């Protein structure tokens, strides 16, 4: 039986990954901070899909949390580095401590867990690492947000390690969704009322689309045609124009004028 370890596996995209792999017959190791939800969701999945689900309560912003999860990675077939946060406030307003917490989770935990998993997978000659990034990693779409930079790192890191992994039968892919309906925005007090309905994606569809891209050997997956188009525009637009557009949109949004 194969095993998938999913960080942030109790909500949003992580829960969708958990459902996906459980339905494919994988045993699961779920990681999150909330013990009660880990136990409840794990029991639900075990019953529904007849797989073994174990859970580890760990805060991946901390060294201890990362170390506890690293201990579990030998023998894992799929690692999904999914846990990630945004900050509801822009640079300097959020505070340095919050910025460092974001970097610790969005970047440092991804580096540490990937480093350990890649080593074991390379030795075994097989394995998969999926790093959940974001379309935000393709450019400065949110003036004053360091979240974009953290996701730019995740995408670039995954692409680079993915190229190395190809010769070792270890697949590495960055999954880069746009807006997905999850707890992400409410947890960070990020207002969403200005985001038009058409921009929202469904977590299960994002995961299915990402898994199709993984099977095709892609290093970067951008689910949905509309976000492929948006990413292409972000990548090819002159930086000056992109900066002017995103700054203006942020200003309009702050004044609550988009409906
Ligand atoms: N939602 C979007 O619009 C969107 C778009 C693009 C990319 N993403 C990315 O997708 C990933 C998943 O986001 P989501 O939207 O599914 O978020 P979510 O619904 O808020 O779920 C976050 C999950 O991560 C866990 N978690 C949070 N902080 C943690 C920590 N310090 N240590 C361990 N686990 C932690 C949470 O459980 P506990 O609170 O119990 O720890 C929960 O299981 C993130 O990397 C995010 O950046 C999201």
Helices 63-70 + 109-124 axis angle, to 10: 10
As given in the structure block, the two tokens for residue 116 are 């350990």
**Does residue 232 lie within any of the structural domains?**
yes
DSSP H or E stretch at residue 81: strand 78-81
Instruction: Indicate which residue's Cα is closest to atom 23 of ligand 1.
Output: 8
In this predicted model, what pLDDT tens digit does every residue of 207-247 receive, in sequence order? 999 999 999 999 999 999 999 999 999 988 888 888 888 88
Tell me, in angstroms, the distance from the centre of ligand 1 to residue 81's CA: 10
Instruction: Indicate which residue's Cα is closest to atom 46 of ligand 1.
Output: 84
Asked whether 28 and 21 are in contact (CB, 8 A), the reply is: yes
Backbone phi and psi for residue 124, each to the nearest 5 degrees, phi listed first: -80, -15
In this predicted model, what pLDDT tens digit does every residue of 168-215 receive, in sequence order? 999 999 999 999 999 999 999 998 988 999 999 999 999 999 999 999
Rounded CA-CA distance 248/237 in Å is: 16
**Does residue 259 lie within any of the structural domains?**
no
Helices 12-23 + 203-215 axis angle, to 10: 60
DSSP H or E stretch at residue 221: strand 220-221
Asked whether 137 and 152 are in contact (CB, 8 A), the reply is: yes
Tell me the catalytic residues: 147
**Does residue 159 lie within any of the structural domains?**
yes
- Regarding the beta carbon of 180 and ligand 1, being less than 6 Å apart is answered yes
In this predicted model, what pLDDT tens digit does every residue of 73-88 receive, in sequence order? 999 999 999 999 999 8
Backbone phi and psi for residue 4, each to the nearest 5 degrees, phi listed first: -115, 130
Tell me, in angstroms, the distance from the centre of ligand 1 to residue 12's CA: 7
Q: For residue 179, give the 3-state DSSP assignment.
A: coil
**Higher local confidence (pLDDT), 252 or 191:** 191
Instruction: Indicate which residue's Cα is closest to atom 7 of ligand 1.
Output: 134
Instruction: List Cα–Cα distances, 113 to 116, 189, 200, in angstroms.
Output: 5, 28, 29
- Reply yes or no on whether the pLDDT at 70 is more than 80: yes
As given in the structure block, the two tokens for residue 49 are 């899909």
Instruction: Indicate which residue's Cα is closest to atom 22 of ligand 1.
Output: 8
- Regarding the beta carbon of 16 and ligand 1, being less than 6 Å apart is answered no
Tell me, in angstroms, the distance from the centre of ligand 1 to residue 240's CA: 31
| Domain CATH number, residue 165 | 3.40.50.720
**Does residue 223 lie within any of the structural domains?**
yes
**Does residue 157 lie within any of the structural domains?**
yes
- Regarding the beta carbon of 33 and ligand 1, being less than 6 Å apart is answered yes
Question: 148 is in which domain, residue-wise?
Answer: 3-254
Half-sphere exposure of 216 (CA within 13 A, CB side): 10
- For residue 135, the ligand 1 atom closest to its alpha carbon is 6
Q: What mean pLDDT comes out for the span 91-113? A: 96
- Reply yes or no on whether the pLDDT at 29 is more than 90: yes
- Reply yes or no on whether the pLDDT at 96 is more than 60: yes
**Does residue 198 lie within any of the structural domains?**
yes
**Does residue 129 lie within any of the structural domains?**
yes
- Please give the pLDDT value at position 90: 87
- Please give the pLDDT value at position 144: 82
Q: What mean pLDDT comes out for the span 41-56? A: 98
- For residue 7, the ligand 1 atom closest to its alpha carbon is 34
As given in the structure block, the two tokens for residue 253 are 């949004």
- Please give the pLDDT value at position 156: 98
- Please give the pLDDT value at position 253: 65
- Which residues is 31 bridged to in the sheet? 7, 56
Considering its fold, how many domains does the chain have in total?
1
Query: How do beta strands 27-32 and 170-175 pair?
Result: unpaired
DSSP assigned state of 59: -
Query: How do beta strands 78-81 and 127-132 pair?
Result: parallel
78-81, strands of its sheet edge to edge = 53-57, 27-32, 3-7, 78-81, 127-132, 170-175, 220-221
- Regarding the beta carbon of 210 and ligand 1, being less than 6 Å apart is answered no
- Reply yes or no on whether the pLDDT at 256 is more than 70: no
Tell me, in angstroms, the distance from the centre of ligand 1 to residue 8's CA: 6
In this predicted model, what pLDDT tens digit does every residue of 106-150 receive, in sequence order? 999 999 999 999 999 999 999 999 999 999 999 988 888 899 999
The dihedral over CA atoms of 68, 37, 4, 148, expressed in degrees to the nearest 10, equals -80
- Which residue among 112, 142, 182 is best mutated to probe the pocket of ligand 1, counting the most ligand atoms within 8 A of its Cβ? 182
């Amino acid at each position: 039986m194969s095993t998938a370890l999913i960080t942030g596996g109790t909500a949003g995209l992580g829960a969708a990954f958990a459902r996906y792999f459980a339905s494919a017959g994988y045993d699961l190791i779920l990681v999150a901070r909330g013990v009660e939800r880990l136990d409840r969701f794990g029991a639900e999945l075990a019953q529904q899909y007849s797989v073994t689900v174990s859970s580890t309560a760990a805060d991946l912003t901390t060294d201890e949390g990362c170390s506890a999860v690293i201990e579990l990675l030998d023998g894992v077939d799929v690692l999904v580095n999914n846990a990630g946060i945004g900050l509801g406030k822009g640079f300097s307003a959020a505070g340095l401590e919050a910025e460092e917490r974001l970097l610790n989770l969005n970047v440092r935990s991804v580096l540490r867990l990937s480093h350990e998993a890649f080593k074991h997978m390379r030795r075994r000659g097989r394995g998969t690492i999926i790093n959940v990034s974001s379309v935000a990693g393709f450019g400065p779409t949110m003036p004053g947000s360091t979240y974009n930079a953290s996701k730019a790192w995740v995408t670039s890191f995954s692409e680079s390690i993915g190229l190395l992994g190809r010769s070792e039968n270890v697949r590495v892919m960055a999954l880069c969704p746009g807006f997905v309906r999850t707890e992400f925005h409410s947890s960070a007090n990020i207002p969403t009322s200005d985001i038009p309905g058409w921009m929202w994606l469904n977590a299960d569809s994002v995961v299915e689309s990402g898994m199709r891209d993984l099977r095709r050997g892609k290093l970067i997956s951008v689910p949905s045609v509309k976000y492929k188009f948006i990413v292409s525009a972000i990548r090819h637009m002159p930086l000056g124009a992109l900066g002017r557009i995103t700054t203006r949109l942020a200003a309009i949004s702050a004044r609550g004028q988009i409906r």
